[in-house]
Chain A
Amino acid sequence: MLYESELYHKKMKSFIKYTLVGLMCATSSVYAQMPHDAIYMPKQTYCIAASYSNSSWKEYWENTLKRDNLNMGKVTTQSAMLMVAAGITDKLNVIVGLPYISTKTSAGNLMGQKGVQDASAWLKYKLVEKSGLSLHGVVGASIPVGNYVPDFLPMSIGLQAKTATGRILINYLHKSGMYVTGHGSYILRSNIKVDRDAYQADNRVYNTNVVGVPNATDAAARLGYMKDGSRIQAEIFVERFTCVGGDNIRRNDMPFPTNNMQMTNAGFYAKFQPKNIGFNVRVSKTLAGLNVGQSLSYSVGFLYQLNYFKKEEKK
């Protein structure tokens, strides 16, 4: 970050022309549109990102049993996401996003679902920075916007849970441009309401329409390289998502929002943003999981950075 800040001060005048600040404009999978890097938008600039993601799986873990299902074939989730990130100060960024999601299968007769999913907002703050090492606090929240069906899994586009996330992120940026980032988060997830007034979970029947969605944790480690601020950036990463409790999919049953979903993903991310216009790509694969599909996901994003907040800076 030191590198980036220095650059920011040096090239203040050419700031409009050159976007030096990397932004987490990457959209990841449906459940993880999360700010997870140590890059900040400078004060009074903002970025709009539009991205397309595609995630699909043929095999899934029914509890621990890895299986396919000829009555679904390949299950594909596509999403189009609009994100806006803004630098409130050089150390405090806000990021908001809203995805439109659709699902489909390649076989069988389950009806695909589509609609606007959950709006999310994040605040990322640089707590400490010294000799390339920095510590960041991130808080986020999401709230369902669309009135989609949450318990028609795996076709549902989301779980309808409100979430609140607290995250600690640590980053080391070497002068060479190499960096490592790690984070850990705790995600609170609210109970949800379903259309039915009784359901089975934890091997019993609940006579209510309120369903408990387990809380979750996530963690990630990234190793990458960035150049010219973060105009050019590439990284490899490993991510782990784990529910705190929850039940397992029963033999030959469908998934349910109470399930203890877990997954380990590994992937690659790159960004190229020579000027105010740029793009990014992300590819990831689920290596291991519980009660989830083994996804291969990719996304491409279009980034557009502006600093129209203060007109006088244009001079």
Chain B
Amino acid sequence: MKNINIKSILIFTGLAILGTSCDKNITEPLKEAYIPTKLDEKAGTWKTYILANSAEVAVAAPKAATDAAYLKELDSLKNKILPVLTPTNKDAIVYWGAGAVYRWNEIARELAARYNLAPAYNVEQGKYPVPDAANPLEEPKFPFANPPYTARALAYLSVAQYDALVSAWNYKFKYNRKAPSKNDASISALLPVSDLPSYPSEDAVVAGASYTILVAMFPGEVPYLDSKLAEAKNVRVWAGTNVPSDISAGDALGKVVGAKIMAKAKVDGMSAANNQTLVAGQIEAAKGRGVKETWLSQESPIRPPMLPNYGAVTTWNFDKATMAKIRPVLPYIVGSAEWQKEFEELEKINKSQTREQARIANYWADGAGSYTPPGHWSREAANLCYENKFSEVAMARALALVNTALMDAGIACWDTKYYYYTPRPQQFGLKTSVGLPNFPSYTSGHSTFSAAAATVLGSIFPAKAAEMNEKAKEASNSRIYGLIHFRVDCEMGLVHGAKIGEYAIARGKADGSGY
């Protein structure tokens, strides 16, 4: 009897365990569609980055609301498209409902993460091969979307979105075509409809501009981006918020603006950013500045430093003379009493890193296979815009300010790194819990990126200023806790980043937006 009981208990337990349908689904925060708090009617007058103004790219007038062609579009929406939506169509509507700028930035971060892997050493060639834009899917894949590359991709993406949307706003209020459901009350849209004129479609403008930038930045992803573009455009028709003529005008405008922005990107100096022939001269110059012990790659085999000439890439919000003026000084060198004190701080962490230090180091690591620190802050910015129910054009503006500040931070920080060429703590025997970046130490890229972005975000969202500052400080400290930076690298990086952010804020204050 006893045995039977035990047996049945055991069998029951076994079945219970085997039958447990433990939930393995990964749920991400739901992003519901919203009606923006402001229409930003005057956004057509806001200062553009690269376009001369919002009328540089022409958009033809749409057909009148009474025109037979337009009525046919409305009829098709009502009777042919909306009644036959599939569950897949509806999922796509919900997904894109979060916003075009929001989703396209998320897509860009995903691509950055996908391509953020350092090339493997090639034994036959006896070197680390350089990714080739003409063969993006060959190993090593092009691009290596490291932090400078990603900062740049995000900056051009946001600038293209912003310039295209400012143009779109100009034509929206010039032509004043109402949304389908406002022209025909019997159309019930599946996404919220504001009073924003619907021609050209802001979602299609963002899609066309984003697509154009991203296929240039991630040339191996054309099929993926094609499908995203098609879906982004279709969704607004499926949702009943636009007719096809709104979409095609928006897509065309976005693509033309995107091409103009990309033409500017092509000549910004990025193609020479990996000029390794400059390195010997940089080391000599750093020694001339008093740096006795210079940086050495800790990888085996030795890997050439990441983008030694990225500092020469064109900045957005200040010129090169200003960049040289705000470049941090090097307060002390290896072997000094101050350096010794900071080294001892790291030695202590090396010996007994706390779990909380590890947590902070991990949270901000944003290393290989991630969307990098610029992606982290860009995400922070997009989420803040979303929470504050920004219009598409206001969100693009905020992201352009943040992402150009991030790219400026990358350029100015890389300039500083190769100006001083200082060694990492690992050159003195320390380990790391986050992985060691392969470029000089001073100043910390994380600190510079973080302070720049936090400063801009604090200006756009004053209620969040203190929180953003705290986050930037934590991101900065994370590099000490992860043992890959000396404290001076981080603290001077924070100061530098905050200055860089101020230039983006000044640009924002003068752009006519009134924000």
As a 0/1 sequence over residues 81 to 115 of chain A, the CB contacts with chain B under 8 angstroms (1 = contact) are: 00000001101100000000000000111111000
Q: Does B110 contact A (CB under 8 A)?
A: yes
CB atoms of A141 and B28 under 8 A apart: no
As a 0/1 sequence over residues 56 to 98 of chain A, the CB contacts with chain B under 8 angstroms (1 = contact) are: 0000000000000011000000000000000011011000000
As a 0/1 sequence over residues 232 to 261 of chain A, the CB contacts with chain B under 8 angstroms (1 = contact) are: 000000000000000000111110100000
List A contacts of B110 (CB < 8 A): 200, 204-205
Given contacts A137-B14, A200-B370, A207-B28, contact A250 B362 (CB under 8 A): no
Q: Does B88 contact A (CB under 8 A)?
A: no
Q: In the bound complex, how far is the Cα of B109 from the Cα of A127, in angstroms?
A: 55
Q: In the bound complex, how far is the Cα of B48 from the Cα of A239, in angstroms?
A: 65
B:417-472 near A, CB below 8 Å: 426, 430-433, 435-436
The one of A206, A208, A252 that contacts B118, using a Cβ cutoff of 8 Å: A252
CB atoms of B350 and A253 under 8 A apart: no
CB atoms of B431 and A110 under 8 A apart: yes
CB atoms of B298 and A206 under 8 A apart: no
CB atoms of B20 and A210 under 8 A apart: no
CB atoms of B117 and A251 under 8 A apart: yes
Q: Does B119 contact A (CB under 8 A)?
A: yes
Binds B, one of A30-38, A172-180, A190-198: A190-198
List B contacts of A207 (CB < 8 A): 28-29, 106, 379
Task: Pick the most buried of A151, A188, A194, A212: most chain B CB atoms within 10 A of its CB.
Answer: A188
Given contacts A89-B3, A110-B431, A207-B28, contact A123 B20 (CB under 8 A): no
Q: Does A149 contact B (CB under 8 A)?
A: yes
Q: Does A131 contact B (CB under 8 A)?
A: no
Q: Does A199 contact B (CB under 8 A)?
A: yes
Interface size on A, residues (CB 8 A): 52
Q: In the bound complex, how far is the Cα of B468 from the Cα of A162, in angstroms?
A: 35
Q: In the bound complex, how far is the Cα of B368 from the Cα of A256, in angstroms?
A: 12
Given contacts A149-B358, A212-B26, contact A109 B436 (CB under 8 A): yes
CB atoms of B26 and A210 under 8 A apart: yes
Q: Does B260 contact A (CB under 8 A)?
A: no
Binds A, one of B5-13, B247-255, B264-272, B506-514: B5-13
List B contacts of A166 (CB < 8 A): 14, 17-18
Q: In the bound complex, how far is the Cα of B24 from the Cα of A256, in angstroms?
A: 17
Q: In the bound complex, how far is the Cα of B432 from the Cα of A195, in angstroms?
A: 16
List A contacts of B365 (CB < 8 A): 196
Closest chain B residue, CB of each to CB of A187: B17
Q: Does A165 contact B (CB under 8 A)?
A: yes
In the complex, how many residue pairs between chain A and chain B have their CB atoms under 8 Å apart? 131
Interface size on B, residues (CB 8 A): 57
Given contacts A109-B432, A252-B119, contact A206 B26 (CB under 8 A): yes
The one of A139, A165, A186, A198 that contacts B10, using a Cβ cutoff of 8 Å: A139
Q: In the bound complex, how far is the Cα of B7 from the Cα of A250, in angstroms?
A: 46
Closest chain B residue, CB of each to CB of A152: B433
Q: Does B325 contact A (CB under 8 A)?
A: no
Interface majority SS (helix, strand, loop, mixed), chain B = loop
CB atoms of A191 and B301 under 8 A apart: no
Shortest C-beta distance, A92 to chain B (Å), equals: 6
B:98-118 near A, CB below 8 Å: 106, 109-110, 113-114, 117-118
B:338-396 near A, CB below 8 Å: 350, 353, 355, 358-359, 362-363, 365-366, 368-371, 376, 379
Q: Does B402 contact A (CB under 8 A)?
A: no
Q: In the bound complex, how far is the Cα of B10 from the Cα of A185, in angstroms?
A: 16
CB atoms of A190 and B22 under 8 A apart: yes
Q: Does B300 contact A (CB under 8 A)?
A: yes
List B contacts of A71 (CB < 8 A): 299-300
The one of B13, B114, B118 that contacts A123, using a Cβ cutoff of 8 Å: B13
Q: In the bound complex, how far is the Cα of B26 from the Cα of A190, in angstroms?
A: 11
List B contacts of A70 (CB < 8 A): 300-301
Shortest C-beta distance, A91 to chain B (Å), equals: 7
Q: Does A125 contact B (CB under 8 A)?
A: yes
A:143-197 near B, CB below 8 Å: 147, 149, 151-152, 164-166, 186, 188, 190-191, 194-197
Q: In the bound complex, how far is the Cα of B28 from the Cα of A199, in angstroms?
A: 12
List A contacts of B184 (CB < 8 A): none
Given contacts A89-B6, A125-B7, A250-B369, contact A188 B362 (CB under 8 A): no
Q: Does B230 contact A (CB under 8 A)?
A: no
Given contacts A71-B299, A188-B22, A203-B114, contact A254 B368 (CB under 8 A): yes
List A contacts of B3 (CB < 8 A): 89, 91
The one of B6, B120, B363 that contacts A195, using a Cβ cutoff of 8 Å: B363
Shortest C-beta distance, A112 to chain B (Å), equals: 7
Q: Does B227 contact A (CB under 8 A)?
A: no
Q: In the bound complex, how far is the Cα of B21 from the Cα of A215, in angstroms?
A: 12
Q: Does B139 contact A (CB under 8 A)?
A: yes
A→B interface (CB under 8 Å): 70-71, 88-89, 91-92, 107-112, 123, 125, 127, 137, 139, 141, 147, 149, 151-152, 164-166, 186, 188, 190-191, 194-200, 203-208, 210-212, 215, 250-254, 256
Closest 5 CB pairs of A and B: A195-B362, A111-B431, A70-B300, A252-B120, A164-B17
Q: A251-B141, A252-B120 are in contact. List 14 more A-B contacts (CB 8 A).
A: A70-B300, A92-B10, A111-B350, A123-B13, A186-B18, A188-B22, A194-B362, A200-B110, A205-B109, A250-B117, A252-B140, A253-B117, A253-B369, A254-B368
